[in-house]
Amino acid sequence: MSKLKKALAKADENRGFDNRRLVGGSIKPVAPARLKSEQIEKAESKLDISYSKTKVQKVENNILAILIKNIGYHPSDKVPLVSINCDSLEFIIDDLYRLETEEIKNLLDTTPPDTLDFFDFRRLIIASIEKDCGLPTLEEHGERSVKVFWAFIQHNEKEQMAYYYRYIEGLVQSGDLHPERLVLVTDRLLVFNDYKQVYGSQIVNGELHPIENPDSVDYRRLEIGLEPLSEYLERFDLE
């Protein structure tokens, strides 16, 4: 194991993540029965086999570099926290997600610093949930808690996405979350850090953000049960 991976593993261990999992690119495929054989054959016919080792390794290295850069960061840094009723988390987490900044301020025992912005207040809720309830899982907190906590992470700043990336990866591996959710976080994290995306999920300023090895993107998408990229882009009136 490289020095960088050792450093990341140690950091993960300190904050409670499973440091036996490696990062990036490797998303558990859905059952083959969900895939259309003709679509897979069409995608495979376009696939450059030389891509598999070099390009996948590049993507993993990009993710790894992002996570290494994020070592030492915690969502609770420089923000006040609130108390969360964990027994009813599944029933209140949607309300927490919809809270406006002024409503969050009213939950605090002290007046927050004027320097806090919208994302700081969102981060405050995420960190408070983790502090009081732990990281949500299907068994402990219910499906809704897992999905909305994912949404908190996905629609936040890149530091939060990097911090919780291994957690999202673990949810997918355990079956608590559909692989598409990791696809979205992976692409968004790469885009926010000025890398090419992998699955083509991110539209930036009305245009598809550049994709790593676009010729094989449909193969990667179909492998985890997503529609071809052309069909996905139709939702945004893009070709």
pLDDT tens per residue across span 7-56: 556 555 655 554 333 334 445 444 433 444 555 455 555 554 444 445 55
Region at 24 (left for phi over 0; alpha for psi -120 to 50; beta for the rest): left
Query: 139, 158, 177 — which closes off a domain?
Result: 158
- Residues 48 and 27: their CA atoms lie apart, in Å, by 20
Whether 200 and 154 map to the same domain: the answer is: no
Do 86 and 139 share a structural domain?
yes
Residue 179 lies in a domain: no
Beta strands 203-204; 207-208: pairing state: antiparallel
Measured torsion, CA atoms of residues 56, 188, 44, 213, in degrees rounded to the nearest 10: -60
Q: Do 62 and 30 share a structural domain?
A: yes
Q: How many domains does the chain have?
A: 2
Convert the pLDDT of each residue in 194-213 to its tens digit: 999 999 999 999 999 999 99
Give domain status of residue 166, yes or no. no
